[in-house]
Chain A
């Protein structure tokens, strides 16, 4: 019987990686997990209303998928460069939250982000190799100007913010 000839999948590099999800190569017998995990219909029969679900595999994808780790790192770098100043941390965290959720954080929410940031900062000051490892995902160049521990700590907060239900779900 004839065999499919799209068996071998080669990942793109460089700019080609950063395209819209619309351009993802879709193989019906092995759909892309990032989409399939999030209830993307398999395209084999009509789905009038997509189901909306919550699974632990979704949680794992959002938290550990290389794509999202890179996104977190790039978001961290973005707020770092958009908000200047040495004591600008609250502003940076606030801006990160607003970019993700569309609203500014309340005081108590900012407090949660702040304490996560400070903990991570101290942790990565003591373990710069861990910081390097955390920031190694993805092809976008790491911004060498940013202090390593601050960069890693901001990335951790970005990972948090990008996993909030508010960020991930559209009401």
Chain B
């Protein structure tokens, strides 16, 4: 027998047994959803995951992750410590610091004076006894009844790169897949003409730290699970537009010719990758239509721009990205990662944070409201936070109206909304100085486990074998925050 023929037969038999292990029903459903798979080898993501996920009925179908790069100061936004007003310029007590390492940026300081927040806080009604939010975030405060605010996040990383890497991949060292890639790998796409995982970046006002494309990279997972960055200028996706002098029909004919010749090649070599390539070219063709349709905001009523603010009309702003995130969610994109830079306020915090908040307050609240009124919030998990917190002691010169804060990994605040998370609640507590956690610590792995749980994934079972062992997003840690989910 022709060796290629016999190889092909063996492959098909093995596939059959693998599929039938999941039951004839699954096999039948699979053939409905992925006819290509039954015909030969199935390339790429096709709706129902080949891994048999989700493990149980999900609450959320997609995630929008609002990452505040640089680490926003929780003490000036959410973690209200009115008692600190009397501690202005006093030394941070050793009993609080307990020898915690400090960065080289402040290790040279003679003193670590306490810098209470100069911003006033207000209490907004929620489903418990109210949520304290600083006056920098009035719009965000107005959706307090939707937010699940956690004061007790902690991380191991003290600097930005390992910090964001830890948030994205579950490990401080690079090389692993990011959250979006794991989810793309686990659940597949819900839309066959847009990428499964999209990244949107907006520039901030304050001190900006670098971002790296590996933060949305797929690590050791196949690279079709990497995030696709939408650019704010030119083509939203690089190389999207056909060349000048080529009409859409010309491109179609050209792709048809490529596909015909490729299929002949497949007939000769039976290499499944060729089919994958054909389908990815088709996906690229569809993206050429679907992406401009997505980014063309002409079908949005004027009222939308009143909700998100006028910045939403300017591509590349956080407001525009929030609106785009909503549109991506509507179109079934699984994971939308936003990065807003500029929160790293080592100095001049009051001035920088005012501008940062002006850029983010209205749009993020608008996103929540918009998802809610479109009936999407219950199945869309929105997560907000930075890579760590900021110190209660001042970095640099302290005055009555100016201060800076250094990095603080021991405790910081994040919030979640939608996606089956309990709305209008708070979780965890920090001590009087906002320095240590005193109740219900939440690790980054716990956050990941919870996120995956909402998507119907058991975080311990979504694994990938690499370098001889099975890896997972939560690695060897992580517990689902069951009190916070419905």
* Chain A residues packing against B (C-beta within 8 Å): 1, 4, 28-31, 33, 36, 39, 42, 44-45, 51-61, 63-65, 69, 106, 108-109, 112-113, 116, 119-120, 123, 129-137, 152, 156, 159-160, 163-166, 168-169, 171
Contact = CB atoms under 8 A, between A and B. Distances in A.
Contacts of B246: 130, 134, 156
A56 B283 contact: yes
A50 to B, nearest CB: 10
Contacts of A131: 245
Nearest to B273: A54
B262 A59 contact: no
Nearest to A72: B243
B276 A54 contact: yes
Contacts of B251: 63
B223 A165 contact: no
Contacts of A119: 253
B281 A56 contact: yes
Nearest to A162: B258
B222 interface: yes
Contacts of A69: 243
Contacts of B269: 171
Interface residues of B, number: 58
B173 A57 contact: no
Contact of B222 (A53, A135, A156): A53
A109 B271 CA distance: 19
Contacts of A168: 277
Interface of B: 43-44, 173-175, 195, 207, 209-214, 217, 220, 222-224, 226, 228, 237-247, 250-251, 253-255, 257-258, 260-262, 264-265, 269, 271, 273-274, 276-278, 280-281, 283-284, 287-288, 344, 346
Contacts of A120: 250
B43 A135 contact: no
A134 B245 contact: yes
Nearest to A58: B280
13 contacts: A1-B346, A4-B210, A44-B174, A45-B175, A57-B284, A59-B280, A61-B239, A116-B254, A129-B245, A130-B245, A133-B243, A136-B245, A165-B277
Contact of B284 (A45, A59, A165): A59
A8 to B, nearest CB: 15
B212 A29 contact: yes
Contacts, number: 147
Given A54-B277, A165-B262, A134 B195 contact: no
Nearest to A159: B254
A162 B210 CA distance: 36
A119 B251 CA distance: 12
A156 B242 CA distance: 12
Contacts of B250: 120, 123, 156
Contacts of B253: 116, 119
A136 B244 CA distance: 8
B273 A137 contact: no
Nearest to B283: A56
A57 B237 contact: yes
A132 B245 contact: yes
A56 B237 CA distance: 11
With most chain B CB atoms within 10 A of its CB, the pick from A30, A57, A116, A132 is A57
A130 B250 CA distance: 11
Given A29-B213, A109-B264, A53 B244 contact: no
Contacts of B276: 54
Contacts of B228: 57
A134 B243 contact: yes
Nearest to A57: B228
A160 B258 contact: yes
Count chain A CB atoms within 10 A of each CB in B223, B242, B278 and give the residue with the most.
B223
B280 A112 contact: no
Nearest to B288: A60
A39 B223 contact: yes
Contacts of A130: 244-247
Contacts of B284: 56-57, 59-60, 63
B281 A59 contact: yes
B262 A29 contact: no
